[in-house]
């Protein structure tokens, strides 16, 4: 099916883009990689009157370290995050997450910003930003604001980004002391390239002697109306011994706090709850080992 007719604009600066969004009003849609929006338009589930293509804005696509943060431009492709040496070295959770998204075509075109604003609870990036406690920079014609990852997802397919705003940057805190911090993303999918039946992102920092969990971030995919934080599971870890027993307790906590639904394609809520437990334990064990823990 073809999309309905629309007017197209291709600004070359952020200032021009937000001014155009203000003028066009709520009938406008931002176009980034088009991997979610274009199919929606073809099925006529979205029929924007104006399409604002931000691909001509050159300074929205970057990965750089700025002091305490690694800053990622919203237009950065999944593939760039998967391949970046800086991301591999300091944000293993992000390179792993990127590698699980769709297929090479989707990863070459799709952007981290588009994925986050789309706010599909089955989107993998949502869990990475929650686990890493990232900040999101959002721009309108009037102001710039920063939203933290716990307040970014408002509902299924609804983010904190208003129709007159553009998500410009994802700021990820650099984990403390490289060697004792590590992240991992584990995903259960029906077949290669599928959306998650269950996905779990973790970001850990161990104490200097590697005996206790000092910090823990847990993001959950396809386990509720939005990506969720595994709050009870995080609590079950922080300050506790790095041991199989502690990881088991976090697994029990996560299976009690998730909010999955039955679905004919990917299984019952009960199955997803059980898989959340299994996949969290896998992600925690792997991240703890990467951070130098022994005995897990
Ligand atoms: C076959 C297939 C398989 C996929 N598999 C997965 C998967 O396994 N895991 C996964 O997480 N995702 C998957 N996806 C989705 C993919 O990650 C998309 O790239 C992503 O959801 C949207 O990013 P985009 O850049 O293509 O955004 P677009 O499609 O261009 O836009 C998506 C939405 O975000 C808005 N938007 C985009 N950028 C901005 C911005 N900077 N500021 C404000 N609004 C903005 C648009 O207006 C639109 O509403 C898959 C997609 C396909 C087609």
36 Cα nearest atom in ligand 1 = 29
**Rounded Cα–Cα distance for residues 280 and 40 (Å):** 32
Q: Which atom of ligand 1 is nearest to the CA of 168?
A: 41
pLDDT of residue 295: 82
Distance CA 267, CA 290 (A): 31
Q: Name the strand (E) or helix (H) holding 14.
A: helix 14-24
- C-alpha gyration radius of the chain: 19
The angle subtended at Cα 178 by Cα 64 and Cα 149, nearest 5°, is 60
Domain limits of the chain? 7-54, 62-173, 181-290
Quote the pLDDT of residue 241.
98
Query: Domain 181-290, CATH 3.30.70.1150 — does that match?
Result: no
Between CA 54 and CA 64 the distance in angstroms is: 20
pLDDT per residue as tens digits for the range 157-197: 999 999 999 999 999 999 998 799 999 999 999 999 999 99
User: What phi, psi does 208 have (nearest 5°)?
Assistant: -60, -35
- At residue 279, the pLDDT reads 98
145 vs 226: CA distance, rounded Å: 22
> Residue with the nearest Cα to atom 41 of ligand 1?
167
Q: In the predicted model, what is the mean pLDDT of the chain?
A: 97
pTM greater than the 0.85 cutoff: yes
Residue 1 has a pLDDT of 84
The confidence score (pLDDT) of residue 177 equals: 82
| 172 to 36, 96, 160: CA distances (angstroms) | 24, 15, 18
Ligand 1 binding residues, C-beta < 6 A: 29-37, 74, 101-102, 106, 110-111, 113-115, 117-118, 123-125, 161, 166-167, 195
pLDDT value of residue 282: 98
Structure tokens at 205: 């920092």
Rounded CA-CA distance 265/275 in Å is 15
Provide the CB-side half-sphere exposure for 133 (13 A, CA): 13
The pLDDT value recorded for residue 49 is: 97
pLDDT, position 178? 72
Residue ID of nearest Cα to ligand 1 atom 9? 101
CATH architecture, range 7-54? 2-Layer Sandwich (3.30)
Q: Which residues of the chain have pLDDT under 70?
A: none
**What is the C-alpha to C-alpha distance for residues 25 and 18, in angstroms, rounded to an integer?**
11
Q: Determine the pLDDT at residue 123.
A: 98
- The whole-angstrom separation of Cα 286 and Cα 57 is 38
Closest C-alpha to ligand 1, atom 1: 102
62-173 CATH choice from 3.30.9.10, 3.30.465.10, 3.40.640.10, 3.30.420.10: 3.30.465.10
Atom 53 of ligand 1 has which residue's CA nearest to it?
A: 35
- The three state secondary structure string of 109-158 is HCEHHHHHHHCCCCCCHHHHHHHCCCEEEEECCCCEEEEEHHHCEEECCE
CA nearest neighbour of 153 among 128, 130, 133: 130
Q: Please tell me the residue having the least CA distance from ligand 1 atom 6.
A: 102
Q: Tell me the pLDDT tens digit for each residue of 114-128.
A: 999 999 999 999 999
Give the end-to-end CA distance of the chain in Å, rounded to a whole number: 52
């Amino acid at each position: 099916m073809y999309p309905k007719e629309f007017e197209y604009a291709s600004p070359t600066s952020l200032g021009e883009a937000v001014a155009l969004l203000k003028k066009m009003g709520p009938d406008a849609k931002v176009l980034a990689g088009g991997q979610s929006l274009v199919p929606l338009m073809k099925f006529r589930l979205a029929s924007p009157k104006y399409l604002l293509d931000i691909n001509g804005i050159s300074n929205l696509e970057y990965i750089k370290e700025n002091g305490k943060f690694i800053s990622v431009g919203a237009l950065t492709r999944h593939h760039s995050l998967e391949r970046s040496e800086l991301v591999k070295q300091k944000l293993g959770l992000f390179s792993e997450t990127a590698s699980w998204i769709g297929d090479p075509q989707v990863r070459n075109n799709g952007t981290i910003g588009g994925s986050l604003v789309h706010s599909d609870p089955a989107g993998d990036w949502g869990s990475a930003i929650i686990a890493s406690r990232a900040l999101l920079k959002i721009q309108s014609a009037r102001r710039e604001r920063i939203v933290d990852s716990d307040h970014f997802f408002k509902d299924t397919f609804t983010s904190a980004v208003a129709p007159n705003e553009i998500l410009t940057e994802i700021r990820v805190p650099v984990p403390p002391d490289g060697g004792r911090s590590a992240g991992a993303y584990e995903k259960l999918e029906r077949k290669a390239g599928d959306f998650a039946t269950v996905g779990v992102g973790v970001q850990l920092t161990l104490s200097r002697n590697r005996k206790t969990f000092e910090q823990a971030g847990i993001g959950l995919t396809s386990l509720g109306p939005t990506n969720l934080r595994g709050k009870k599971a995080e609590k079950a870890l922080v300050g506790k011994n790095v041991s199989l027993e502690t990881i088991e307790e976090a697994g029990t906590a996560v299976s009690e706090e998730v909010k999955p639904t039955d679905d004919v394609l990917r299984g019952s809520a009960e199955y997803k709850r059980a898989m959340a437990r299994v996949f969290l334990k896998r992600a925690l064990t792997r991240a703890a080992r990467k951070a130098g823990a022994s005995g897990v």
